[in-house]
Amino acid sequence: MDIQLFIVIIIGIVVGIILLREIYQFFFTKKDFSHCGGCNMCELPKKETEESLPRSI
């Protein structure tokens, strides 16, 4: 009975540490949004500015 309680307490501490670390990373670290899901919306503003610039011949 004492061994089971000891194992449950250890598992609880480990899960608590992992949960706190994930919460900290979610709220307090900068996220890298450089990779998107593969859409081309990031490329559209670049294309529009390139097309609007007059080209010299």
The model carries a pTM of 0.50
What per-residue confidence (pLDDT) applies to 3? 93
Give the residue, 43 or 15, on which the prediction is more confident. 15
Instruction: Say what percent of the chain tops pLDDT 90.
Output: 40
Of these ranges, 13-17, 38-42, 52-56, the one predicted with the greatest mean pLDDT is: 13-17
Least Cα distance to 52 among 22, 6, 44 occurs for: 44
Q: How far is CA 31 from CA 10, 22, 28, 34, 44, in A?
A: 31, 13, 9, 9, 23
